[in-house]
Amino acid sequence: MTMMSDADIDEFLQGHHYGLFKPHIYERGHAYYDAGRVGEPEPIAQDLWHAVVRGGDDYQVDVRLHRGRVVSAACSCPYARRAAYCKHAAAVLIAMTELLRRQRDRERGIDPAFPNDASFAVRWYARNQFSSFPRLSDDDWRAVKHILETLYEFPDLEKLFRRMTLGLLGGSDPDEHHGRWTPLNTEPSTMTLTQQLNEAARRKRHKRRDCDSSLANMRLLVPGFGTTQLNELPHTWMTILEAAYEHLHDAEGLRRLYSYYILIAQTDPEAVYVERLRAVSGDHWAEDRDEIIRLRGKCHRICGMSPINPAFERLVREERLPKDAFDYCRQVGGAILSIRMLDVIAQDPELLEQTMQRLRTMLRDPDSDIYSVNDGPSAERVGHWIRRIDTAAGYEEARALAEHIAGMFPRREKLRAALEDYVPKTDTFPELDDDDWDDWDDGDDDGCDDSEIIFYDDGGALPPRDDDVEYDSDEPGEGSDDDE
Ligand SMILES: [Zn+2]
């Protein structure tokens, strides 16, 4: 099926291609893969593979092999014009590795290994915390499992998730979530959970120094106890419970825990649990998937709002569930989010039409926040959206919208350039030349495809609005990078 010989597959799985990427680019590629943004790679000819990577735009990636080694890669993103080995190519190579490894294991009759990520993290953590860490027996692990399941009231996932959601929404520290769940802030964070916890801990330390002094007393009682070290476990205590499940080969426990991780996910890297749950669920996959959808819907009804959840997005996308994608977008509340999920929603023509009505209203409104900033990245973003609408709703729809937008802002050159696939060029507006690309994509930011839109909601700080009366043609530093 893959048109690759066993020897070529073995050679490929050696992973020589890691060396082709700058480490930070490879890492970003891995985050894309974890977030489920890579369509299944397909061999389209002898030694030629193709895959689509979804960012803010869909990027087409081709990888050419020779005897199992990567000889070249091509991607349709702007960064790849200058350096072939972009993060999208990295993401596709990781997806190919996983695909070929699974296929080879199946052929050889090897069961996928039982997970041991949490055990690894806990072992590492425990070694740092205790002077000695002897091997724990099965009974020890059963005790750990019993204690933590009791504390978390497992197996009542619903109760736990509800408490967690209510706790976050009505939380004691509203500042913590300010700006994160505003309806239009629809891009998931690319920070890992651990990074977020550390950041929250850092902010707390700055705010409340008295907290430190009480913990200092604790350090006297418990030698070597550090205040933030539990944060080194991705889900703190739950990672210890996860390690217990791993050790005891308790698939049912892991299914419950992974389902919970998916329900509470807020960052891209956490979407990896969809893949993990699928692997550990086996025959129970459909049951687990439906339970996650049911619980998310139920909690939304109780709390009245839902945060962005990249893991849930991955689930409805990979399972091709237009109705659930539509409900999710409506509940989370951003028309912009619907653009990201449009390919899934488009499978149901009626839901697509309803979504398009909202999008038309937003895109045709010259006062919409999406046009408040007139710079390269903002223009490109609109261009990405129109291309997505083209893919999902057809060329005519995309062209009509693009013409309308170009008509609203005739003096925004960058916007026109971003829409030029749909709106005929006129001589008055010069083409965007190659140098301009350098301004906004240097390959190591996410500016080209999944950057956040900045909304100025603090009243006083509105940027000067371009009302197309005068266009200042030499704005220095325009279209700069999206690094925070
Ligand atoms: Zn690329």
- Same-domain pairing of 45 and 179: no
Confidence of residue 251 (pLDDT cuts 50, 70, 90): very high
- Same-domain pairing of 54 and 150: no
How many domains, the chain? Answer: 3
- Going by C-alpha positions, the residue among 340, 417, 421 that lies closest to residue 374 is 417
As a whole number of angstroms, the distance between CA 254 and CA 297 comes to 22
- Ligand 1 is an ion; its neighbours by CB within 5 Å are 75, 77, 80, 86, 88
Residue 29 CA to ligand 1 centre (angstroms): 9
pTM: 0.69
Q: What is the pLDDT of residues 6-50, one digit of tens each?
A: 899 999 988 889 889 988 888 889 888 888 889 889 999 999 999
- Same-domain pairing of 85 and 137: no
Q: How far is CA 201 from CA 30, 174, 196, 208, 224, in A?
A: 26, 15, 8, 10, 19
Q: How many CB atoms lie within 10 A of CB 37?
A: 26
As a whole number of angstroms, the distance between CA 411 and CA 392 comes to 29
Residue 73 CA to ligand 1 centre (angstroms): 9
- Same-domain pairing of 392 and 299: no
User: Is residue 339 situated within a structural domain?
Assistant: no
Q: So what's the pLDDT on residue 83?
A: 80
- Same-domain pairing of 155 and 87: no
What proportion of the chain, given as a percentage, has pLDDT over 90? 35
467 burial type by CB count under 10 A (0-12 exposed, 13-18 middle, 19+ buried): exposed
Residue 188 CA to ligand 1 centre (angstroms): 20
Residue 410 CA to ligand 1 centre (angstroms): 30
Joined tokens for residue 440: 């906004």
Q: What is the pLDDT of residues 52-67, one digit of tens each?
A: 998 778 899 999 999 9
Which amino acid type is present at position 35? A
Q: Lay out the sheet containing 58-66: strands in order across.
A: 42-45, 48-54, 58-66, 69-75
Residue 56 CA to ligand 1 centre (angstroms): 12
- Going by C-alpha positions, the residue among 458, 475, 476, 453 that lies closest to residue 466 is 475
Higher pLDDT, 426 or 328: 328
Q: So what's the pLDDT on residue 1?
A: 53
Residue 21 CA to ligand 1 centre (angstroms): 12
Q: So what's the pLDDT on residue 198?
A: 67
Residue 36 CA to ligand 1 centre (angstroms): 16
- Same-domain pairing of 249 and 221: yes
Q: How many CB atoms lie within 10 A of CB 383?
A: 23
Q: What is the pLDDT of residues 410-440, one digit of tens each?
A: 889 999 999 988 987 764 444 444 444 433 3
CB 56 within 8 A of CB 449: yes
Measured in residues, the chain has a length of: 484
Of the ranges 111-120, 141-150, 378-387, 429-438, which one carries the lowest mean pLDDT score? 429-438
User: Is residue 132 situated within a structural domain?
Assistant: yes
Residue 273 CA to ligand 1 centre (angstroms): 25
Helix, coil or strand: residue 162: helix
Dihedral over alpha carbons 405, 406, 409, 414 (to 10 degrees):
110
**What is the average per-residue pLDDT within 70-86?**
88
Largest CA distance in the chain: 78
User: Is residue 270 situated within a structural domain?
Assistant: yes
Which amino acid type is present at position 71? V
Dihedral over alpha carbons 17, 19, 21, 24 (to 10 degrees):
130
Residue 31 CA to ligand 1 centre (angstroms): 14
Residue 71 CA to ligand 1 centre (angstroms): 16
Mean pLDDT of the chain: 77
Q: What is the pLDDT of residues 143-179, one digit of tens each?
A: 999 999 988 887 777 877 777 766 655 543 333 443 3
User: Is residue 454 situated within a structural domain?
Assistant: yes
User: Is residue 346 situated within a structural domain?
Assistant: no
User: Is residue 74 situated within a structural domain?
Assistant: yes
- Same-domain pairing of 136 and 78: no
**What is the average per-residue pLDDT within 227-232?**
58
- Going by C-alpha positions, the residue among 40, 29, 18 that lies closest to residue 98 is 40
Residue 444 CA to ligand 1 centre (angstroms): 11
Residue 92 CA to ligand 1 centre (angstroms): 10
Residue 121 CA to ligand 1 centre (angstroms): 32
User: Is residue 350 situated within a structural domain?
Assistant: no
Residue 81 CA to ligand 1 centre (angstroms): 9
Residue 59 CA to ligand 1 centre (angstroms): 6
Q: So what's the pLDDT on residue 287?
A: 95
Q: So what's the pLDDT on residue 206?
A: 63
Residue 232 CA to ligand 1 centre (angstroms): 32
- Same-domain pairing of 41 and 150: no
- Same-domain pairing of 232 and 157: yes
Residue 8 CA to ligand 1 centre (angstroms): 25
- Same-domain pairing of 58 and 174: no
User: Is residue 349 situated within a structural domain?
Assistant: no
Q: So what's the pLDDT on residue 184?
A: 41
Which residues span the domain enclosing 377?
Answer: 364-484
- Same-domain pairing of 66 and 209: no
- Same-domain pairing of 132 and 16: no
Q: What is the pLDDT of residues 182-229, one digit of tens each?
A: 334 455 555 555 566 667 667 666 655 544 444 444 444 455 554 445
Residue 75 CA to ligand 1 centre (angstroms): 5
